[in-house]
Structure 1
Amino acid sequence: MNEYDYIIIGAGASGLLLADAMLNDSFFDQKKILLLDKNAKDTNDRTWCFWEKGNGKFEDIVHKKWNSIHFQGKDVLKRTDISPYTYKMIRSIDFYNHYLGRVKESVNITFAQEALINFEESESKVTVHTAKKTYSGKYIFNSLFDYRMATGQNKYPVLQQHFVGWVIKTDKPIFDSKEVTYMDFSIPQKGNTRFMYVLPYANNTALIEYTLFSEELLEKAEYNEAIKHYIQERFACETYEIIEKEAGSIPMTAYDFREHHTNRVRYIGTAGGWAKPSTGYTLMSTATKVPKLIDFLKQEKPLKKLKLKGKFWFYDMLFLDVLHNNNAKGHTIFESIFKTLKPQMVFKFLDEKTSLKEDIVYINSCPKTPFIKALLKRIF
């Protein structure tokens, strides 16, 4: 009764999108699949944002859309229409309800709310131990991330994109509900790469997030004070209600998580290095990698043989080398890019859809010296 063809550990974005892809492919109709998560996935614990042209696969659960972005730095201020792109936001509770709802209605996927203790791999199967039961599976997909997976090596730096966000509601209309503040570097940098990110849900309601790209986290009070100060200075607002809070940390590293894969165990999502190393954006990166994993599974080859790295991994590696070497100057890179290029070009490059000619245009928009130094250090 506890034997499965596939066991998916973690019902986050990668686990649910993988399970849903299996539901949509007849190859898996006769397969027994187990989805494990310690939580019921019944709370709104995060938001996912992305950009795309036109309507996409998540359209039914998109909570809010914007057609314009605001970028600000020390020497640049841009308010720009981003068409044909649209910036979109999904609340996690809507994502869970949609995808986990489909899983619970399926006949060949079982969802179990159980915490993983450990698993053991043999030549023919993987045995999974939870706090309640023991399961066996032919193949395991694990989305549970631990920073120790990446920090036990010195070849690639490991930064964090860490943040605290408040959703506030004000008495007066102080936000432009049609415009996302994508990055505001006008705030004190304090030796790191720091910016504010604002998603206005309405003219009196917005998510305001204090975000850093750095190695170490801050004390909780420092995030809160920065958000409070920004609301006062940027919006001249003293009175507001905090209706939601969120916090998180996303790894930023070019470390090859493939070193943890085996013939029967594959790490997915953030644990598999699916978060875009240079930005931390994960949802659309995951959505593009899941179909590749599904196609690979049909070949029934050892899981560790699937390779997903390309030229953009190399670009991200150099960018993170630069940030790691001089984190205080991180804002100058983004300011140079947005001062030189249209946001449509930036989005296309970050989507990893640019040609080599377009790559060169993007790279030329960056400060040259730190990237040349990073490249020479990698070569020599």
Structure 2
Amino acid sequence: MSDPDPHVILGAGCAGLSLALALREHGLRAPIVLLDRRPAHDRDRTWCFWDTPGIRFAELATHRWPAWQVIGPDGAVTRHEGADTPYLHLRADDVYAAALERLRGAGGVDVRLSTRVTGVEEGPEHVTVTTDRGRLRAAHVHDALGGAGPLRARRPSDPDGLVQRFLGQEVRTTRAVFDPGVATLMDFRIAAGGEVRFVYVLPFAPDRALVEDTSIGTRPRPPAERRRAIAAHLRRHHGALAAEVLHEERGAIPMSLAARPVRLGPRLGAVGLAGGAARPSSGYAFARIQRQVDAVARAIVDGTPVPATTHPVRLELMDRIFLRVLREDPRAFAATMAALLRGTPPAVLARFMNDASTPLDEARLVAAMPPLRSRARRPRTRPASASGRPAPPSGACAADRPQ
């Protein structure tokens, strides 16, 4: 008897490696092949999320912040103390190394780097995957390429959607200027230029932090502009006249409710960004990826249909309202976020941001933010997009910030 056809995963980043682990953990015995064009797994990004139960790799956190805050354009600080649900930071290289080590121990997993996928053709009995190194026959194919692979054409685009873009630098200052116990999720003391823009500061030590210039809108900003903005922010608001850049990362996360289904065909699926794992209203994805791959793996091993979506459908309404607020009045975003922190207990906010909230949690969130409350009562409308056409009912931080 010939060996069974493998499950082929396109992409060996966070989503692809996590899916391979989930398939093994849930009992899949068939071979698994991961294909990725990257030559090596290095530190290409950062993931952050709140410490709620059941999130794979949470034990790898390099730092935990018991408090987090939002700083308004006028310098007003709104802070949460949430020791039971701290904010966690994971480095990509630590996650990759741990996942690869676990997969080596699981057996039957082949990770092929420096391999570009050029085509995927689904047939009645198998899937043919074409790469720059030849062809593979697969039982199932899972797209974990974040929307950049050959299956992208199967997913509708959202020309009016927003994008969260960021450039972050890990810096070391010449003197102690940071409080390592407090994560600044949003500091709005930065020129916005008509968009939502803020600085994200994760202090690891009094003289070391990850500082990111983040914007939400439709236009990119040159990396040089973001680097100048980070340096200026450190001077003006932290008194850091000089800083050594230890590491830099950047990225773009779609903030849209355009459909990105997990099930693409009888033998085709998608996970991670390709499967809609980035939360449309925030860009957070790490916790959702872990829940998503578990749901997909469980269905495959049990022989049941893979669900079209793996997050609570009711959250789409919350995201839709939030994105409407963001699109219609970006200048009010800072006040909206401050109200969210003031009116929401830390554990409730953490559960909501990690897709683990209850309907009661969500009701408390809506009650805490007048803009959401008023729009939740308003009939659905289709506001004009920047192009003058009616925008779709979907509207449109960075690190969790996904794969």
Q: TM-score, structure 1 length as denominator?
A: 0.90
Secondary structure of the 1:4 match is: coil
Aligned residues: 376
* SS of equivalent residue, structure 1 residue 354: coil
The 1:183/1:374 distance shift into structure 2, 3 A limit, reads farther
3-state SS in 1 of match to 2:257: coil
Q: What is the aligned counterpart of 2:218 among 191, 208, 215?
A: 215
Name the SS of the counterpart of 1:118 in structure 2: strand
Alpha-carbon spacing, 1:224–1:153, altered in 2? closer, same or farther (3 Å): closer
Q: How has the CA–CA distance of structure 1 residues 332 and 70 changed in structure 2, closer, same or farther, with 3 Å as cutoff?
A: closer
CA distance in structure 1 between the aligned counterparts of 2:141 and 2:275, rounded to whole angstroms: 13
Query: Does 1:332 pair with 2:339?
Result: no
Partner of 1:290: 293
Q: Could you tell me which residue of structure 2 aligns to residue 240 of structure 1?
A: 243
Q: Does 1:98 align with 2:98?
A: yes
Paired residues of 2:55 and 2:290 also in contact (CA < 8 A):
no
Q: Which amino acid aligns with 1:371?
A: R
Corresponding residue for 1:63?
Answer: 62
- Which deviates more, 267-276 or 332-341? 332-341
- The equivalent residue for 1:50 is 49
Q: Give the counterpart letter for 1:58 in structure 2.
A: F
The corresponding residue for 1:112 is: 112
**Change in 2 beyond 3 A, CA 1:224/1:151:** farther
> 1:368 aligned to 368, 371, 379, which one?
371
Alignment identity in percent? Answer: 25
Specify the SS of the correspondent of 2:381: helix
Relative to 1, partners in 2 of residues 1:74 and 1:239: Cα closer, same or farther, differing over 3 Å? closer
Equivalent positions of 1:131-210 (< 5 A) are 131-146=132-147, 152-153=157-158, 157-210=160-213
**Corresponding residue for 1:353?**
356
1-structure distance, mates of 2:78, 2:35: 45
Q: Give how far 1:91 is off.
A: 0.6
Distance (Å, rounded) in 2 between the aligned partners of 1:295 and 1:188:
47
Structure 2: which amino acid aligns with 1:163? F
Residue ranges of structure 2 left out of the alignment (5+ in a row): 383-391, 394-403
* Secondary structure in structure 1 of the residue aligned to 2:380: helix
Q: Which has the higher helix share?
A: 1
CA distance in 2, matches of 1:292, 1:54: 16
Instruction: Please tell me whether the aligned partners of residues 69 and 78 of structure 2 are also in contact (alpha carbons under 8 angstroms).
Output: yes
Compute the TM-score of the two structures, normalised by the length of structure 2: 0.85
Measured on the aligned residues, the alpha-carbon RMSD in Å equals 2.6
| 3-state DSSP of counterpart to 1:348 | helix
**Cα 1:186–1:247 shift into 2, 3 Å:** same
Change (3 A) 1:128 1:77: same
Q: Distance in 1 between matches of 2:165 and 2:186?
A: 14
Secondary structure of 1:134's partner? strand
Partner of 1:322 in structure 2? 325
The runs of 5 or more residues in structure 1 that have no matched partner are: none
Q: Secondary structure at the match of 2:290?
A: helix
Amino acid at match of 1:128: V
Q: Which amino acid aligns with 1:189?
A: A
Match in the other structure for 2:80: 80
- Give me the whole-angstrom Cα distance separating, in 2, the residues matched to 1:56 and 1:254: 24
Give 1:291 shift. 1.5
